[in-house]
Each structure stands twice: as structure tokens, then as C-alpha cells.
Structure 1
Amino acid sequence: MTLLWIAFALLLLPALWLLVAPLKRARAVHDAQRDHEANDRTAEQNVAVFRRRLASLEEARERGDIDAARFEEDRLELERSLLEDTERLKRAPLKPSASGRLAVPVVMLALVVASALWYQHEGAEGDLALMGVRQAVMSDPQGSPEMLIERLEEQAARQPENPNVWSMLFPLYRDSGQGDRAIDALERLIEIEGRHPQLLAQLAQIEFFVAGRRLTERVQSLVDETLEKDASEPTVLGLLGIEAFDRGAYQEAIDHWRRAIAGMNDPGSADALRQGIQIAQQRLGQAPEGGAATASQGPGIHARVRLDEALAGRHDADTPVFVVARDMAGELPPLAVARLTLGELPADLVLDGRHAMSPQASLAQVEQARLVVRVSAGGQAEPQPGDMFGQRAGVAVGETAGEPVEVVIDSVVE
């Protein structure tokens, strides 16, 4: 920022010089004007011309060329012309050359203050500070996403009305598994920028995943508002496709995903939806579009989920079961999420890139993962008392053609 203000000062110097330069010439201009006025003979010349014309009129009257009435009329015209010429020659008293010198520094100060205030209001000082924070963290040998979040939170406290600080914090919170903070950051961004369809769609998406891929009343409200503003918004259509797929409405999922692909600019996301369409068509017993669907998308985990016999009969068959793959350190958001029902257990499934919650977090980023399976009686994203769960750590991520890794649901949340 210091270099920026130095640059501003250098740019102001020519403008300030233009204000000061006339003061150096003021004395010479004053003396030249005074000499000009002192030696001006214009009034005397006008009087001499008047006298000559008046004498000519008198001679014309004496010769009889004009009568008395014409003489008086012409004489009055000459006198009127002389008065007008004399009036124009009247000058105000010449002011001293030092007059007005105090106004120059006042104007200079006003120029500097006005320039600084204008930049504070219209400039991008806050964005430069954000860029400086990002560069400082990236160049720090111990730089990390946590450090960047901490520094950006400091900037958010200093410039809470800058939308860019919230747009930077939102994906960092999301990718680090801080769903609630990601929602808060996105809501703050919407307050500043307005309820644009793209922002509402992102808010609906993150709330959908935080709620355990459930279409809550809050998510549905955001979806409705987004589609009212933009009926072809791809993020919301992709979300609706996921929700339909999870409840087994495969044709509905296909329809939503096809509409989403039509409005997408990201080839990677579009390819992921095409993979989903192929799987949905397989579930419907249809021939997949573009040939057979691949068994997996990228490295993944082949898992088998079963319920311990001691816990059988505790919940209904349609109770949702969430299968979640997380990184071993627990620093990233869920890498893959799949949904089953209790009645489908035991079940084999493959977790891979198709089950990623976002492009920034997938199984392709890790070599080992921790599988967590939870039977959610209330369908909530967070564990509730009475939920049943099982987990297994250190599961290798890679080829999915081999024997499945078994995860047994054998515990109850107290």
C-alpha cells in the first residue's frame, strides 16, 4: 500500500505544479499590465477622432449641406459613440501581484484531500489488501488454508462491506468442512451483492449438502427463488437431480441433469453429470447414452455395508443410511457421500468421483480414507441420539474391481 500512495503522490505532483507555476510569473505579468495601462492612449485617440468628426459636421452645416436638425442628430450620435468607447476603457484598479497567493495552497490541499477521499470511496484499496494477504500466505513456507482463512477473517472485520472478502472465504470454509461458516459467508455476500440466481444456487447447494443431501424447507425455498429468477440455473438443476437420484426417481434425475448440462460452462461438471445420467439409465434398465457407463470415475472405494444383528429391528426399512468417505485428518469436507436405505442392507457400493460433494474435494485427493456409515432416524446431517453407526479407518483408495471393504453398523449414538 505504501508504494500505491507514493504512486498517487507522483501523479499529483504535475497537477500541483500547474497550480504553483503561475505564481512565479505573477510579478512580471503585473508589471507588464501596469505599464500597458500607463502608456495606453486609446482614450485620447477617441477624443481626437470625435473632435475631427464634429468639426466636419460644423463645416457641413455652415455650407448648408445639412440643416440644424440633422446637425443636432449627428452630433448626438457622435457624443453617444464617444461615451460608449470611453465606458469600455474604464478599468478596475490593478491588484497587487501577491494578491490571491493564499488561495493556491488552499486549492492544493483541497485537491489532495479530494483525491484521497475519492480513492477511498471509489478505489480498490481493500482488494489490494486481499491480494497482499493471499500473496503473503502463498509465499510463507508455513502457509496453509487455515492461515489464509485467519488472515481473511481479519480483513473481513476491517472491510465487512467488501464482497470479495466473503467470496474468498466461502470456498475456503466449504472445502475445509466448515459448512455453517460457508453458509454465513455466502449469506453475507448475498446481502451485499443482491439475490442473484448464481449466488442463491450456491447457497441452496451448500445447505443441501450440510443437511445430508436432504431437500429441507429452507433449501426448497432457495431452489424456488432461484428458478423463479432463472429457470435454467445449472447448479440448482444439478442439485435437484441428485435429490431425485437419492430417492430413486431416476428419470426425474436424468431430466434435471440434462437441463443442467445445457446451461453449464464447466466441462468437468458436465462430464460428471453425464456419468450420473448413464448410471441412472442403467438403474432404469435403459441403454446408457454414449455407450456403457464406466464402473467408476477415478480412484474410489469398493465397500460392503451391513447391519450388526444385535441392532436389527430398531428402525424402519426406509430409514436413510449415509455412507461418507472422509480424509484421515478430518481437514477436508466429505470426499464422497452415498445414500441407501436400511432395507437395502447388506449392500455393496462403489464410492468414487461421482459421489463427490464438490470438485474441490474428492477421493482422488487422498490415498487413504475413513468410511463412516450412519443410520439417521431423523434424516439429519449431524448425528442425533438413537442413530446407529459404524466406521472403518485407513481404507485404501484406488481400484474398485477387487474385494469390497466391509463396514459394520454396530454402535448407537448416545
Structure 2
Amino acid sequence: MIWASLLLAIVLLMFLLVPVWYRRPQDVNDQSEENLRLYEERSREVAASDLDDARKQALQLELDREFLAAAATAEQGLSSVDVRKRWPLALALLVVSLLATLALYQQWGAGDQLRATELLQKAAEAELSKNEQTELLALLEVSAQRYPDNAEWSYLLGRMSLNNGDYERADEVFSALLLTLPEEAVADRASLLSLLAQARFFGGGQQVDAGIYKLMQDSLALQPNQPQTRGLAGMMAFELGQYRDAIQHWQRLWQSLPDTPETRVLVQGIERAAERLREQGETVDLSFLQRAELKILVEVSDAVRAQLDPQTTVFVLARDPEGPPMPLAAQRLTLADLPQLVTLNDSQAMVADMNLSSAAKVTVTARISLSGEPIAQSGDWQAELTGVSNKHEGVLTLRISEQLP
């Protein structure tokens, strides 16, 4: 973009210089006119004199020579003196034009935004140096002030201020953005409410108050499936002595995650909150901490087996009958593997916050897929059980014998 601006400046400068470059100086024009007047006057005098024709011709020839010599002298003065004097002016105009173009580009152009974008892309791939972080923060500050209608620059400024520990500035930016953000921008408002709560929490020395916790609750009301917000909301509820709320937050988060060392730490927090409630004389049911698991014996009838290739794909699925069609847990086999005892659990979830533990009742399906895809299609063979508890004890049996129409 900057090279295009420079090229346009040069072209513009050429258009400006063309009429100046070829303009005859006023003093040369005046002298030429005076020479012509004198030449014509003296020519008339010679013609009106009493001299013979030979003498008149000699005098006229002399006048012609003097006039031509004067004209040549004027042209030489124009090319040797005036043109040389214009070179410094032309160069000065060129330099001024280029400098003005650069200054205007820096003032109104997208140089700051391009550099900020470059640094943001670099930050996504590697850690920025201290100088680059300082530069990026300054560029975001300038861009946010220059383009107040573009919320993206302000959002990035707030996020970087939060990451750099400038919680007061982050608070200012996020608060201002919330005032301008439309109500229908649900996801953006939820994110800003959570970030604003974090800025105030860390800015206040990690001290929780009802206002900060309310921001977290408002964020979760807009977008319930925010793992980080859910975890922080549980921690804030615990610090405020609202132990049952803390358990509810952490329970939902725990049910959306697989069994990992991080979730075991979460279980410890849930147990601590339950202990505090028991000290207050309340009862707490923590049976949900038992991971959901289903054992299914998958069989196929002899008639169906005889019709199909042994390598035909078989899917064993569990899904929420009241939720989306995406499975809560799934396992893939082949017809040759059957009969097979299959175990479905949270580790087989397709999406982190949609697993077997997140639905009390599920539909369990064993399907022979002729297309090799998990979505049921006409001609597939399957067996299905509905209304099964996600913590059903014992072994469920699914015998594939019916073909889908």
C-alpha cells in the first residue's frame, strides 16, 4: 500500500511540474516582444527612407541578422540559466511530496494495524520478546483510540492488558465494550463478562465479592458451556461460602471432562465443599462422582452375518434422546469382531462437554453401517435400547437382526 501511495505521489508531482517546466519566464517574453517592436519600427524607417534599393536591402539584411541574433540570445538564456534554476525547485518539490505522503500514511494509513496484525500472528506461533510486547501494546492502544467503532482492537487491547497484569486498564476496556455491545451478541457479551470479572478479581488481589461473582453468573447464564468460567465461578462461590453453588458449578464441569489428573483435583474441591456443608448440618449427595459406564454385549443373528462382508463396519453408540444426535460415547468394530463385550464411558466422547456422565438416561444402539458412516441410513442393520440409565449395572445385550427401511 505504501508503494502505491508513493507512486501516486510521483505521478501527481509530474502533472504539477509539466506546466511549470515549460512555462517561458515573463522577462524573456517581454524582451522578445520589445525586440520584435524595434525590428518592425526600424524596418518601416528603412522602407520609407530616400536610399536606393541596394542600400535599403543591405540595411534590411542587417536588421534581420540583429533580430535573429537577439532571439537566439534569449533562447540560450532560457535554457542555460532558467532551466538550471528550476532543478533545485523540482527536487525540493519531489522531496516535500514524498515526505508528506509518508507522514499522511503514518497519520491516516493502516501502518499501525498492519504491524499489530504481524505481531499478533507472530505471537500465535512463538513468544514475543519484551520489546515486541511493549510495541504491540502501544499499537493496540493507538488502534483502539483511532477506531473506537471497531471493537476488535479494544478487545485485543483488553486481553493483552489482562495478560500483562494491567488489570485496571483491562477493567476500563472491557467495561466500555460492554456498554457498546448489542444485547444480541450473546457469545461476545458472555466472554466480556467473564474477562471483566477476572480483571476485577486479580486487580483486587484475588479477593472475591458479590459483584464479581455476579458477573460470572451472568456470563454463564448467556453461555453455560464455558469450562474456564464454570471453574472460576465454582471457586468464587466457595470463597464466598456458597458451597452448594460451588458443588453445582464443579459438578457440571466435572461431568463434561474425561477422567484426568486435572479432574481429580476438581473432585477434591467438590469433596471439600461437601465437607463444609456437612459441618453446617446439611446433607450432600456425591453419587454423581461415580463415572458413568455401560457394558454392552453386541451380537448379530446368523441370517444377517451370512449376508454381509466380515469387514463391514459396526458402531456401538450411546446418545442423549433429548439432545443432539451426536453420540455421547462411541466405539467402532467390524462384523468379524462380533460377538463382543463393549464398554462405553466418558473417554469416548465426541465433544468434551457432551459425554456419558452428562445425561441421566441414554439410548444405546448397535448398528451395522453399510456406508461405513455412523449416521443411520436405509439398509443398515441395528439393535437399540432406550431409557437406559447411564450408570446401569450389569451387562446390556444388543442382538442385531433388524434392517432399517
TM bucket normalised to smaller: 0.3 to 0.5
Relative to the length of structure 2, the TM-score reads 0.33
Q: TM-score, normalised by structure 1?
A: 0.33
Question: Which structure features the higher share of helix residues?
Answer: 2
